[in-house]
């Protein structure tokens, strides 16, 4: 290592290194120096963002697209509390960084909720200890009865943002129970459809007693959530408008579930009968609510198993008489 580089690294160990020096050193050819700048607590946000754009190092097993967008010394930036969280969020794609992201002091609530579902106790512990974690997420983590999650529950109890843990957990459990209960009043279903906790909304989405307008509200706000969308797609109480929107989902499993719904309107089935995915068309062909004229069209589908689906549909008997 050159003398100049050693001198620069020594200067970067000083927590009081002037900002103008940090900005200048961020332009150095030395990767070690740029790493040290990225880690420095006084490194300005603009410099961190510049490093994110110019650094050529690939990190971890990130997808090539993300690498192209985020070619950065993130092993250092990730540990710098001055780094804007938006700069780090793409690293949710790599589980190697989950725990560090969950512990970030400026982590955004929506990302903390995503991380709270990860099947790793160290990640959930970091979420449980984070002051930015939403109350409904802390309640769910504290209510988790998995024996392996005792440490997670302890972290929730130690979180300074939690002032009344028993009340927090009990409130979450009551909302979850109401969302699952077929006897829940319609007005309460409507409130629960806007609950901050995704698990509560998931239970409303799958409850056949939920009013259609509550399910429509869930589709409006959660159409990007595959699991919640799938629950509404299979719910016989879902309105035609909700099913129309879900029939256009990017998720194959959501469109399949709409195609299986015995309450789906004929015009929605007609739309799905033209789906580029043969599995979706097969599900339409097997739906007992499919109109005969639609079955006639699917009987000429290029995929043999879609045509077989038509043959297995009880409404298609008239086609073969």
Q: Does residue 171 form part of some domain? A: no
Domain housing 34: 1-93
Same domain? 65 vs 43: yes
Nearest to 234 by CA among 221, 224, 219: 219
Q: Does residue 71 form part of some domain? A: yes
Where a domain ends, among 129, 163, 197?
Answer: 163
Number of domains in the chain: 4
Q: Does residue 176 form part of some domain? A: no
Whether the Cβ atoms of residue 256 and residue 281 lie closer than 8 Å to each other:
no
Same domain? 83 vs 123: no
Nearest to 305 by CA among 275, 279, 274: 279
The per-residue pLDDT for 4 is 81
The per-residue pLDDT for 42 is 85
Q: Does residue 78 form part of some domain? A: yes
**How many whole angstroms separate alpha carbon 96 and alpha carbon 61?**
9
**How many whole angstroms separate alpha carbon 281 and alpha carbon 287?**
10
On the CB side of 243, how many CA atoms lie within 13 Å of its CA? 26
Q: Does residue 177 form part of some domain? A: no
The per-residue pLDDT for 148 is 56
Same domain? 110 vs 84: no
Q: What is the pLDDT along the chain (321 residues), one digit of tens a residue?
A: 567 877 888 888 888 899 999 899 888 877 778 777 877 888 887 787 777 654 433 333 333 333 333 444 555 666 666 666 766 666 777 788 888 889 988 888 888 998 998 989 899 999 999 999 999 999 999 886 554 578 888 899 899 998 888 888 889 999 999 999 999 999 999 999 999 999 999 999 999 999 999 999 999 999 889 999 999 999 999 999 999 999 999 899 999 999 999 889 999 999 999 999 999 999 999 999 999 999 999 999 999 989 999 998 988 876 655
The per-residue pLDDT for 95 is 83
Is pTM beyond 0.75? Reply is: no
Where a domain ends, among 45, 77, 93?
Answer: 93
């Amino acid at each position: 290592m050159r003398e100049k580089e050693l001198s620069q690294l020594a200067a970067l160990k000083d927590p009081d290194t002037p900002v103008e020096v940090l900005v200048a050193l961020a332009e150095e050819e030395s990767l070690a120096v740029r790493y040290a700048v990225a880690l420095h607590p006084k490194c300005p946000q603009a410099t961190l963002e510049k490093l994110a754009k110019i650094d050529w190092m690939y990190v971890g097993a990130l997808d090539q697209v993300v690498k192209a967008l985020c070619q950065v010394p993130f092993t250092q930036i990730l540990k710098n509390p001055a780094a804007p969280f938006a700069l780090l969020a793409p690293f949710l794609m790599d589980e190697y960084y989950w725990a560090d992201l969950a512990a970030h002091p400026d982590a955004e609530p929506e990302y903390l909720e995503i991380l709270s579902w990860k099947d790793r106790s160290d990640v959930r512990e970091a979420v449980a200890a984070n002051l930015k974690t939403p109350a409904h997420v802390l309640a769910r983590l504290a209510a988790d009865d998995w024996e392996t999650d005792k440490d997670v529950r302890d972290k929730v109890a130690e979180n300074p943002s939690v002032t009344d843990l028993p009340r927090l957990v009990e409130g979450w459990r009551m909302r979850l129970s109401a969302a699952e209960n077929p006897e829940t009043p319609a007005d309460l279903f409507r409130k629960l459809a806007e609950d901050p906790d995704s698990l509560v909304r998931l239970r409303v989405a799958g409850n056949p007693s939920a009013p259609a307008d509550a399910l429509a509200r869930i589709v409006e706000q959660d159409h990007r959530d595959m699991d919640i969308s799938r629950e509404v797609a299979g719910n016989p109480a879902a309105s035609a408008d909700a099913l129309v929107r879900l029939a256009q989902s990017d998720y194959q499993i959501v469109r399949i579930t709409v195609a299986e719904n015995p309450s789906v309107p004929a015009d929605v089935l007609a739309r799905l009968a033209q789906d580029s995915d043969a599995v979706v068309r097969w599900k339409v062909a097997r739906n007992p609510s499919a109109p005969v004229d639609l079955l006639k069209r699917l009987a000429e589908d290029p995929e043999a198993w879609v045509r077989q689906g038509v043959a297995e549909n009880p409404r298609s008997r008239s086609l073969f008489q």
